[in-house]
């Protein structure tokens, strides 16, 4: 992997992890364009590094909220922080169960299947169009809505389904305040990213070779910086109900992927 490829993948990961356009789908398309030069053990290492960067950017942006979540976990009285922490934990369960139970089947989908990615991007676009037309309310996240949002996050494991797009759209369609929807969506994924990273690191499948250390560092920096910008930008966009812009983008990219796949 060259340093240019690493930087491009980092920028793609940083932007698309938070913008509702599917980071997994875009990374599959990017690797397809590169000729799938990033494969095998090195590919897993790149994935872990880039996800670590976007997880770190989320922690930086939401550092105050994350501190409150940890405070809530270690308090025995029923307070707002503890309730929010329990909702975050509840929202993680569906994705964790699906990720563990169907790991092999899910891995098989991440094999450069551009046709599938294109179709799922169209599905993402439909969700975003629906959410953009939902009425803006001031409802908070309830336990039941946290579970439903968690189910949408589990479905978004599929390449081409945007995780942030699916969870934010589900939240908005449930009548939850738009800004709260975005914040909950970004916070609920941090434990899952960190857990997946820990699992991959402990599995022993990641290459320990360091000859590509410099490209990985550049990719990490690119993902972290673009992640900071995209995370902050996305919160403002959700408040202004501009999700349809991303829906149009997903349709265009999805159709290009479908046409290219069929034509080739």
Tokens, residue 170: 């589900």
> What is the model's pLDDT at position 33?
78
**SS3 at position 55:** helix
> What is the model's pLDDT at position 204?
60
CB atoms inside a 10 Å sphere around CB 182: 25
What's the pLDDT tens digit per position in 234-245?
A: 878 777 767 888
> What is the model's pLDDT at position 216?
86
Cβ atoms of 166 and 130 within 8 Å: the answer is no
> What is the model's pLDDT at position 222?
95
> What is the model's pLDDT at position 40?
47
- The domain spans of the chain are 3-263
Signed CA dihedral, 64, 176, 153, 71: sign only: positive
Q: How far apart are CA 27 and CA 104, in angstroms?
A: 19
Tell me the pTM.
Answer: 0.83
**SS3 at position 133:** coil
Transcribe 166-233 into DSSP letters: HHHHHHHHTTB-HHHHHHHHHHHHHHHHHHHHHHHHHHT-S----TTHHHHHHHHHHHHHHHHHHHHH
Where the chain has pLDDT below 50, the residues are 39-40
């Amino acid at each position: 992997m060259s340093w240019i490829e690493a930087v491009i993948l980092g920028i793609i990961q940083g932007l698309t992890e938070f913008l509702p356009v599917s980071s997994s789908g875009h990374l599959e398309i990017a690797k397809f364009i590169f000729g799938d030069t990033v494969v095998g053990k090195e590919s897993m290492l790149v994935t872990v590094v880039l996800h670590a960067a976007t997880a770190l950017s989320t922690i930086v942006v939401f550092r105050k909220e994350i501190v409150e979540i940890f405070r809530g976990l270690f308090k025995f009285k029923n307070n707002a922080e503890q309730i929010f922490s329990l909702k975050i934990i509840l929202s993680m369960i569906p994705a964790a169960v699906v990720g563990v139970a169907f790991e092999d089947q899910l891995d098989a989908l991440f094999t450069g299947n551009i046709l599938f990615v294109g179709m799922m991007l169209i599905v993402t676009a439909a969700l975003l169009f629906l959410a953009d037309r939902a009425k803006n309310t001031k409802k908070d996240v309830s336990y039941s809505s946290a579970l439903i949002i968690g189910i949408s996050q589990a479905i978004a494991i599929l390449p081409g389904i945007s995780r942030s797009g699916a969870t934010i759209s589900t939240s908005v369609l449930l009548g939850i305040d738009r800004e709260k929807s975005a914040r909950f969506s970004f916070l609920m994924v941090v434990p899952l990213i960190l857990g997946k990273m820990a699992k991959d690191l402990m599995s022993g499948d990641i290459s320990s070779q360091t000859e590509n250390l410099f490209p990985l560092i550049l990719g990490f920096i690119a993902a972290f910086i673009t992640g900071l910008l995209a995370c902050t930008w996305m919160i403002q966009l959700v408040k202004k109900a501009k999700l349809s812009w991303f829906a149009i983008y997903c349709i265009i990219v999805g159709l290009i992927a479908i046409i290219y796949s069929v034509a080739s």
